[in-house]
Structure 1
Amino acid sequence: MRLIYLSVLAAALAFASTVQAASVVVPDLYTASTYTEGRGDSARAAGLRQTFAKVLVKATGSDAVLTAPQTELLLERAPDLVTIYRFDPLPAPQTSEPDAEGSTSQAPPSEVYRFTAEFEPRTVQLLLRDAGLSPWPARRPLTLLWLTLDRGDIISGEQRDEVQAFVDEAERLGLPLVFPSMDLTDQQAIQPADIQGFFPEQILQASRRYDPATVLVGRLERDGSLWTARWAMLERDASAVRWQNSDPALAVLLTQGAQALGSQLLARYGIGTDQAGASQAIELAVSGLRTLSDYGRVLNFLNDLPPVSTVTLRRARADAVVYQLHTTASREQLRQSIALGRVLMPADEPAAENLLGPVAPMAYRLNR
């Protein structure tokens, strides 16, 4: 499934809350496909290994998982973790081969199958954590792309094929994207010159209707045989993280752009931080808990935060609870990760004074 959300989603997001960054649940994170010759035991074993490697990349949002020393042991577990798989036959191309007399004849077609496998999400997540790796929850930040190609028009959702390499790489990494619809509203709000000149206030103003978590601006230009891309990941305060790269091949440039976006997002949310690194304890005060279901919902949410290794209950009074989170992420990275889930909202008022420890907890309330 293409992780491209076009004008229909954009219109819906226009009415979304702007209190917290927009996020979407990425489908099929633990499903992947590859191709095999035949459907015997060896083809099945190879297919499971290849699809599980793809799932690990999507689950963590990074290729780095494939080079981790623990990954080989994880790949060996693929047959134990698969929940369903199938072989779908594909038409094999006919090839001509010369015979002994030099004439050509049709070689017998090989049996080519599309192999699809689905793996058990919770078990994979637990194994990744046990291996010191950080799985990324299915709810992920939505990135809005403002791109111009060779000083042309802004790329809309209907023109995404022009930057398909970026789309494909983002999908491989499990990064949800949205392109502007470039309808009349967009055309009145922003022009290609705003992208090429990089006017952050104008770009952010035009982005509000989409309520993205991240705004990525890209200006791709060709000079002779060389393409150059200038990228900027905009923050809501109009500050930006910038980088650029050049390559003769536009597809390579676009692929690198999607990879850099993924790296920036992982850093922003503290995902992929070295789990063996220095850990700190951060307290989180949550108010608005009324039922056992509320307590369970919050505890499960906190345990699933990628940069969090353990969660313990510190103290409680009335409907407010203080949790202690052990994490290698900073408070700001943790705040960004919490905002994505939309389970907790920043508290309007700080927690009661008698709940505060030596360092004031981060104050939140349950979102109902």
Structure 2
Amino acid sequence: MRPFVRCLVLCLASLPILPALAQPLEGLYQVREPIRADQDEAREEQLRRAFDTLVLRLTGDPQAVSSDALKALRDEPRELVRQFGTRGEALLVEFDAASVQRVLREAGLGIWGPDRPVLLTWWLNEDDVGTQLIGDGQRQAETLRTAAQYRGLPLRLPLADLTEQLSITPEAIREGSDELESHAARYDADALLAVHAQGGDEQWRAAWQLWLGDRQQQGEVSADSREALADEVMREAHAFIAPLFVSAPGQAEPILLEIEGADISRFAELNRLLQPLGGQLHQMEADRLIYRLEADPEQLRSQLALARLYEVPVEADPVDATQPLDEADQALDGAEESVAETPSVPEQSVMRLRYRW
């Protein structure tokens, strides 16, 4: 172990162990695309639909797949596919994450990384049989999980015990009452989705409300099955949440981001969190990390808030944005990894943000 690395490990090991960041969404680059039973689709068309689904997950932009920059890849997406195969009535496609990120960046599209708000979902079904709150262990829970995964949203379902079954009523969901918030306190989630679904046989409709921080949205959808209704709700939830975390083309600006209170595990989490934004480690001093990146400041703030980081005032001591990262700072485990040199940026043109746990 090189002297610098040994010193770094000793410094960070002396810090108190704090809770880790939220877990990333698993299977983000794996798409389970339903095979349309009423159409004789070629395999290329199935892969194309899977590619469309993935691009929407990552960019939040419904028009992204129709851009000229992605046309050639959309016509022939196999070069981005690691493997695929049929599972049940669906085509399971695993895309190569690095290749997909590269082509989206080259197309000038923002990318939403795997760290996403956990969505606690109160889903109340009302049909001819009665009214039931869908809980984690119930049969219908799998329908909601499948829909959320398909749209790239981390889903959390309640226990739906007797107290919750009695408290979470259609009126509570419709009015967004305090009952929802008080019962949500027992679950670790970032956002709250409340859905009142009604119907049966071939006609379903749902009214939904979603809260994320101080933001709120609501809407109504309809579909011809439970599965289609769940997908419609999750699609609209994704459309509301994604713009809060994905930078639109032209909105990014140079930023120096300072993080205080980092330990070894958090260093890895921060790298994963900032990687979709092109974040590069610029300086490292004990538990103080400084990253250089280009992002929309508000979307970066949303992502950092999701990681339970708190913004603090920036002090007057300047960070030299033109100073390259020292060679000894380029690895934690002694691995020699080259760091691409970036053009010097005048310090006064760089926004500085400071965060801590």
Q: TM-score, normalised by structure 1?
A: 0.64
Q: 1:78 maps to what in 2?
A: 77
Stretches of structure 1 lacking an aligned partner (at least 5 in a row)? 1-17, 91-112
Equivalent residues of 1:143, 1:215 under 8 A apart: yes
Q: 2:195 maps to what in 1?
A: 218
1:207 to 174, 180, 184: 184
Task: Return the alpha-carbon distance in structure 1 between the equivalents of residues 91 and 232 of structure 2.
Answer: 28
Task: Return the alpha-carbon distance in structure 2 between the equivalents of residues 241 and 44 of structure 1.
Answer: 38
Deviation sequence 1:277-299 (CA, Å, 0-9, x none): 343344422234688x9878745
Equivalent residues of 1:216, 1:233 under 8 A apart: yes
Task: Return the alpha-carbon distance in structure 2 between the equivalents of residues 19 and 300 of structure 1.
Answer: 16
Q: 2:323 maps to what in 1?
A: none
2:168 to 179, 191, 199: 191
Q: Secondary structure at the match of 2:132?
A: coil
Q: Secondary structure at the match of 2:196?
A: strand
Q: Secondary structure at the match of 1:139?
A: coil
Per the alignment, do residues 253 and 44 of structure 1 end up closer, same or farther by CA in structure 2, a change over 3 Å counting? Answer: closer
2:260 to 279, 287, 298: 287
Task: Return the alpha-carbon distance in structure 2 between the equivalents of residues 258 and 215 of structure 1.
Answer: 12
Per the alignment, do residues 325 and 254 of structure 1 end up closer, same or farther by CA in structure 2, a change over 3 Å counting? Answer: same
Task: Return the alpha-carbon distance in structure 1 between the equivalents of residues 231 and 285 of structure 2.
Answer: 51
Q: 1:29 maps to what in 2?
A: 29
Q: Secondary structure at the match of 2:317?
A: helix
Task: Return the alpha-carbon distance in structure 2 between the equivalents of residues 212 and 171 of structure 1.
Answer: 16
Q: Which moved more, 1:278-287 or 1:350-359?
A: 350-359
Q: CA deviation at 1:345?
A: 3.0
**Equivalent position amino acid for 1:156 in 2:** G
Equivalent residues of 1:149, 1:221 under 8 A apart: yes
Q: 1:302 maps to what in 2?
A: 274
**Equivalent position amino acid for 2:317 in 1:** N
Equivalent residues of 1:30, 1:59 under 8 A apart: no
Deviation sequence 1:246-295 (CA, Å, 0-9, x none): 678776654432221011110222x1x431x343344422234688x987
Q: Which moved more, 1:255-264 or 1:22-31?
A: 22-31
Give the alignment's Cα RMSD to 1 decimal. Answer: 4.4
Per the alignment, do residues 169 and 265 of structure 1 end up closer, same or farther by CA in structure 2, a change over 3 Å counting? Answer: same
Q: 1:325 maps to what in 2?
A: 293
Q: 1:55 maps to what in 2?
A: 54
Per the alignment, do residues 286 and 187 of structure 1 end up closer, same or farther by CA in structure 2, a change over 3 Å counting? Answer: same
2:153 to 166, 169, 175: 175
Q: TM-score, normalised by structure 2?
A: 0.66
Task: Return the alpha-carbon distance in structure 2 between the equivalents of residues 133 and 171 of structure 1.
Answer: 22
- 1:334 matched to 2:300: yes
Deviation sequence 1:275-330 (CA, Å, 0-9, x none): 1x343344422234688x987874564232xxx466584x7777545444322x34
Q: CA deviation at 1:161?
A: 2.7
How many pairs are equivalent?
Answer: 305
Largest Rg, 1 or 2: 1
Deviation sequence 1:185-240 (CA, Å, 0-9, x none): 6357x332562452442211211222111101122356xx9865332112456x63
Identity %: 22
Q: CA deviation at 1:85?
A: 3.8
**Equivalent position amino acid for 1:232 in 2:** Q
Task: Return the alpha-carbon distance in structure 1 between the equivalents of residues 179 and 20 of structure 2.
Answer: 21
**Equivalent position amino acid for 1:335 in 2:** R
- 1:240 matched to 2:222: no
Task: Return the alpha-carbon distance in structure 1 between the equivalents of residues 213 and 33 of structure 2.
Answer: 37
Task: Return the alpha-carbon distance in structure 2 between the equivalents of residues 191 and 35 of structure 1.
Answer: 36
Q: 1:157 maps to what in 2?
A: 136
Deviation sequence 1:81-106 (CA, Å, 0-9, x none): 33334467x8xxxxxxxxxxxxxxxx
Stretches of structure 2 lacking an aligned partner (at least 5 in a row)? 1-17, 320-346
Q: Secondary structure at the match of 2:195?
A: strand
**Equivalent position amino acid for 1:26 in 2:** E
Q: 1:262 maps to what in 2?
A: 238
Task: Return the alpha-carbon distance in structure 2 between the equivalents of residues 171 and 298 of structure 1.
Answer: 23
Q: 2:106 maps to what in 1?
A: 130
Q: 1:99 maps to what in 2?
A: none
**Equivalent position amino acid for 2:169 in 1:** P
Equivalent residues of 1:31, 1:117 under 8 A apart: yes
Per the alignment, do residues 117 and 193 of structure 1 end up closer, same or farther by CA in structure 2, a change over 3 Å counting? Answer: closer
Q: Secondary structure at the match of 2:238?
A: helix
**Equivalent position amino acid for 1:345 in 2:** L
Task: Return the alpha-carbon distance in structure 2 between the equivalents of residues 31 and 246 of structure 1.
Answer: 24
Q: CA deviation at 1:131?
A: 0.9
Q: CA deviation at 1:354?
A: 1.4
Task: Return the alpha-carbon distance in structure 2 between the equivalents of residues 220 and 34 of structure 1.
Answer: 23
- 1:345 matched to 2:323: no
Task: Return the alpha-carbon distance in structure 2 between the equivalents of residues 250 and 44 of structure 1.
Answer: 27
1:362 to 347, 353, 357: 353
